[in-house]
Amino acid sequence: IPRKFPHDFLFGAASASYQVEGAANEDGKGPTNWDVFSKIPGKTFEGTNGDIAVDHYHRYKEDIRLMAEMGLESYRFSVSWARILPDGDGSINEKGLEFYNNLIDECLKYGIVPFVTLYHWDLPMALEKDGGWTNKRTAEAFVKYADICFRSFGDRVKHWITFNETVMFCGLGYLKGAHPPGIQNDEKKYFQATHHVFYAHAKAVETYKSLKQYGEIGITHVFLPAYSVDDTEENLRAAEHANAYETHWYYDPILKGEYPPYVVKHLEEKGWTPDWTDEELDMLKRNADHNDFIGLNYYQPIRVEKNHEAVSSIEHSRETSTLVPGSPSFDGFYRTVKMDDKTYTKWGWEISPQGFLDGLHMLKARYGDVKMYVTENGLGDEDPIIAGEIVDIPRIKYIEEHLKVIKKAISQGINLKGYYAWSAIDLLSWLNGYKKQYGFIYVDHKNGLNRKKKLSFHWYRQIIETRGEE
């Protein structure tokens, strides 16, 4: 294993609009699905919402200055669609463009590379009302919105992610009911929504390439490599199912340009096949060679066994991960389980750097040498405060161990080009409010949202400075 990371490997950190910006009703921004969903009693932890979040909208200059001080080479953030197009598909809000122009320029001022996600879950409410991702209109509107972003920011932004974690917003939205639009167990809608996302992605990539801006564009998935809990045939089979549903369904249409045949067959049997046209399927095919990279959000692997009874989605509590978002829960299929000999975070997410290494090899075996970025990885914790200092040693340990396996993976020929810790700054966790922290920068909610550097801030600066030298 080399002592240092390659010179062109990007060290970054990430955020997402709804989780940091706040200013939910300012400067012409339209309402989003999350603005509405988070106000429904019982949907979020203690009713927390992103109305103010950590006020990044007003404090971005201070935040970017801190990121620069940390030595961050790149900042991954998302654009809120409803700031640019308040109705999702209509007239442009100049103030929205202005905010992101300023944010981008502020990054560039310090030499921080902006890595921009176009969709990190906050959908303009007008589109959600119209069926959201189950309606093709949303996909077409997304492509127009993406085109506006490319034309407005593409002279300075050279790294684009279309979507963040399709399995999450579709799975939690249409199977588990834990994200908007809050629908449970509707497999037909779930698969339909994912199909529209893949189509929108492919069309946005085509649009981007036609503009000849010579940057790169890809999509980000949450990567949940599945292990069987044991070597029994039924559980090995369950793990195959899990990988097919959690991974192949999401990467095949992007990288192979077609859906995995055995899942398609299964959907036919169940009556869950999305309505798709030849034009849409052709679009996926055409796009297969045009993706520049794949973003991976890796937090944990999953351990699965055969499901011997249908598990209600209600059991998918926000505190645990007893079921994964893309798993239709029916008798005879698969379910995730916790194992006594594994280590978990306070929120029940398994800590397994090895799981990532194994998973990366699994991806390479199926998809070849595609370029990849780790677009999220990090530890959600209630950080210890000792004598006024945020001593987030478990986070340092977590990131350190993951960086080690990433370095190893690169030396084994995995084409990884960057690492974005989740998150740059403490932010709103979708379902866990501000209790679950991820940042290098602490935000004091009792004290005017003041920023403070955590121990990990200094540690990460050192890592970047020495390029992870061991």
Identity of residue 196: H
Q: Which of 430, 440, 459, 460 binds ligand BGP (CB under 6 A)?
A: 430
Task: Please say whether the beta carbons of 124 and 91 come within 8 A.
Answer: no
What is the C-alpha separation between 283 and 278, in angstroms, rounded?
A: 8
What is the C-alpha separation between 31 and 129, in angstroms, rounded?
A: 11
What is the C-alpha separation between 239 and 214, in angstroms, rounded?
A: 40
Minimal distance, residue 246 CB to ligand BGP, in Å: 13
| Phi/psi of residue 227, nearest 5 degrees | -110, 145
- Annotate each residue in 332-351 with x if it binds ligand BGP (CB under 6 A) or - if it does not, as one string: --------------------
Max Cα separation, the chain? 63
Sheet holding 334-336, edge to edge: 226-228, 302-306, 334-336
Q: Which of 429, 441, 456, 459 binds ligand BGP (CB under 6 A)?
A: 429
- 300 near ligand BGP (CB under 6 A): no
470 counts as catalytic: no
What is the C-alpha separation between 203 and 421, in angstroms, rounded?
A: 29
What is the C-alpha separation between 326 and 334, in angstroms, rounded?
A: 11
Minimal distance, residue 81 CB to ligand BGP, in Å: 15
280 or 376: whose CB is closer to ligand BGP?
A: 376
Segment interacting with ligand BGP, rule: CB under 6 A, options 32-40, 137-145, 253-261, 430-438 = 430-438
Q: Considering only residues 431-470, where is the footprint of ligand BGP by CB under 6 A?
A: 431-432, 436
79 or 283: whose CB is closer to ligand BGP?
A: 79
222 or 455: whose CB is closer to ligand BGP?
A: 222
Q: Considering only residues 150-169, where is the footprint of ligand BGP by CB under 6 A?
A: 164-165, 168
Minimal distance, residue 121 CB to ligand BGP, in Å: 7
Q: Which residues pair with 432 in a beta bridge?
A: none
Catalytic position from the list 21, 106, 165, 350? 165
Those residues whose C-beta lies under 8 Å from the C-beta of residue 238, and which sit 6 or more positions away, are 228, 304, 305, 306, 307, 333, 334, 335
- 13 near ligand BGP (CB under 6 A): no
Task: Give 269: exposed, middle or buried? Use CB within 10 Å, 0-12, 13-18, 19+.
Answer: exposed
Quickly count helices (H) and strands (E) in the chain.
16, 15
Instruction: Extract the tokens encoding 408.
Output: 């190893």
Q: Considering only residues 199-258, where is the footprint of ligand BGP by CB under 6 A?
A: 222
21 counts as catalytic: no
Minimal distance, residue 342 CB to ligand BGP, in Å: 18
Identity of residue 1: I
165 or 252: whose CB is closer to ligand BGP?
A: 165
Instruction: Extract the tokens encoding 345.
Output: 């975070």
- Annotate each residue in 364-393 with x if it binds ligand BGP (CB under 6 A) or - if it does not, as one string: ------------x---x-------------
Enumerate the active-site residues.
Answer: 165, 376
Binding site for ligand BGP (CB under 6 A): 16, 19, 164-165, 168, 222, 297, 376, 380, 422, 429-432, 436
